[in-house]
Every structure is written in C-alpha cells, then in structure tokens.
Amino acid sequence: MLTYNRTFRALSSAVVALSFCTALAAQAREIDPELRQYVIANCSDDAYRLCPQSLGNENDAVKCMRKNRSQLNQTCRVAYDKVVRVMRK
C-alpha cells in the first residue's frame, strides 16, 4: 500500500507540474524543454501539496500556483518566476 501511495503521489505531482508548464506555454511563448523539466523536478511536491484539486486541469493549476506562490519552496518559486519571465517576452 505504501508503494502504491508513493507511486500515485509521484504521478499526480508530475501531472500537476506538467499541467502548470503546459498551461503557461499555451498562454505565451513555448517553454524550453529544459525549463519544463526543471519545473517538473522542482515543483512536483509543491504542486501536489498545494494544488491537488488541480490535477489534470491546466488553468486551475496555473491559478493555484500563482495564488500559493508565497508557499512554494524556493527552488519551485525560482522555476515559477523563470516561466513567468518567458511568458512576458
């Protein structure tokens, strides 16, 4: 059961983080694949912790991460800010 929970959590986190990147990319310029991987690697735990209700919904994931920016861990916040800068170009 513990292995199932870890696997589910890892997959769910990846879905939220990927949704976050995909939604941001759709709203602006295409996000570099390396930046996408950086966000997934650094924001999956925060996405799962702060935005589990957003799993699979790109727009909700972006809104949730923006709303909870102050609660993101530092590496996720850096990743989020990099994506926002790409969007604004």
CB-count exposure of residue 53 (10 Å: 0-12, 13-18, 19+) = exposed
pLDDT value at residue 13: 57
pTM value?
A: 0.65
Q: How far is CA 15 from CA 41, 43, 85, in A?
A: 12, 11, 22
pLDDT range class, residue 28, cuts 50, 70, 90:
very low
Residue with more model confidence, 28 or 15: 15
Nearest to 72 by CA among 89, 53, 35, 47: 47
| 3 state SS of 87 | helix
Per-residue pLDDT, averaged over 53-59, amounts to 78
pLDDT range class, residue 3, cuts 50, 70, 90:
low
